[in-house]
Structure 1
């Protein structure tokens, strides 16, 4: 089961630390902001989610000191910059662990989700989020895509007026 809670917003502490405010967030709260979570102990379950949600492509990515060397911290800082995508972001954790921070609408607080092996998280298009590793500095994940693999990040506030952002906000206001 994913560990989700409000981020403490203490920027004086390494962003790879837990930053747990002590305020838990339920799966229902995650669903209200549009996030989809499922624990999938097997790849067969990931395959079923892929089929159910019409994901056509996937790849695998490893992020670690070994895979990126001196480029690890600059890459993590890029991932940790608040951004959104025009497509869903889907990640299934195979090994290691990482944090996805998602914006809680309408109060704009960060919700931190700690993902470990077997966790699958889907973030809707238009949702502001960011990612980092834990202090273990390692994750191996499968990335799923509806169409051809692409990863274009649009930062805040530049993306505030994107149509996909407005669509996302309208969808969570109806929930």
Structure 2
């Protein structure tokens, strides 16, 4: 990989792990195809990694912070340690600055990793991930899944058919 980037931030649900809505059970965590390989390669090339994830189940009263932390711990058991976890626990109606598509999670992750947003790639599966990256000044890559709307794919400046293809884009 060239040194155009210093960090890669990943959305959690639907990007790193299979999306199980409002999952509070670590036993239901399953990595997305290619996640282990992508993370191994990214880390081997010295790039910092982080997770930026909306977890509105907390704000909705469907999950506790402890349940989300347990799921995140399982993600790290399966995929390795991340340099930062930035989680928005708010309800979508709260109007916070962190919930994607707002840039707060991306900016906080960049600060925690001591990298500039311009040298950071944000990988996600929905339009909110792309918009958050753009609003923060980072480079978005959309990896569409079954929940990604066609108009989100059309508007994304960069798309990859799967996580492994993201590697080719950032090398």
Q: TM-score, normalised by structure 1?
A: 0.27
* Higher fraction of helix: 2
Q: Indicate the structure (1 or 2) with the bigger Cα radius of gyration.
A: 1
Q: TM-score, normalised by structure 2?
A: 0.28
* Higher fraction of strand: 1
Structure number with the bigger relative contact order (C-alpha 8 A, sep ≥ 6) is 1
